[in-house]
Amino acid sequence: MTVENLSSNKSFGGWHKQYSHQSQSLNCAMRFAIYLPPQASRGQKVPVLYWLSGLTCSDENFMQKAGAQRLAAELGIAIVAPDTSPRGSDVADDEGYDLGQGAGFYVNATQAPWNKHYQMYDYIVNELPRLIESMFPVTDKRAIAGHSMGGHGALVIALRNSEAYQSVSAFSPISNPINCPWGQKALTAYLGRDSATWSEYDASVLMRNAKVSNGGTLVPAMVSQGEADNFLAEQLKPEVLQAAAKVSGYPLVLETHEGYDHSYYFIASFIEQHLKFHAEHLR
């Protein structure tokens, strides 16, 4: 596989690097960014936090706006931020910001024309970690986090792959996509009109049904939600996620924060709390 280094920037003794590669899952060129803490340059393998961004974002939003590198350097955690969808002139798109390029929703599309490229679930769960673990000085210890659409993706992926992740967190996640406009639009397009197929990509449904089996464990979860978020009532529905956790006894910590909105000002204000949460479990 050809992987091209697009940029490198030293940050807090470590390195932020951006790469492009041809994705087999998505059938197109994909971009991702990685922050490697200084420990990785000294021959030490470090655990990885995967960050999934939200609608209209790319791999650049989190790395440039969240202010996560300083503490990641102290904690010895690598951060990987993939793009939010396949991209390219031959990749299906939509005029709306909430469907198509920049809005992959971290699902495996089954419907044409989306199914040719939009296999973001497989890309995040399988292809990207294999690439990261083969190229960089990292361990197989993984955590996953995200914002909004990416918070939805992080929760769903951790809930469906509890053996692969030590912890999961989310800022302002789309918690119940089968019952909100963003989710209904995307899931109808990508998966079809049979809503029975949507539940495997709904964190609230998965959390309500979560069970420990075969000696496994439930992935500890943290969710932060701003109370001044314009999308809170109609799109995000954290109360549904919290109710689901109570039914199953899921280890979810959900905190709300007065005055905070949906922006990266909110993420930057609490990213250190999330990084410390993941560090505890990645040990």
Q: Which residues are catalytic?
A: 148, 229, 262
Give the alpha-carbon dihedral of 235, 236, 239, 243, to 10 degrees: 100
Q: Please count the CA atoms within 13 angstroms of the CA of 83 that sit on its side-chain side.
A: 22
Structure tokens at 40: 């990785």
Paired with 81 in beta bridges are: 33
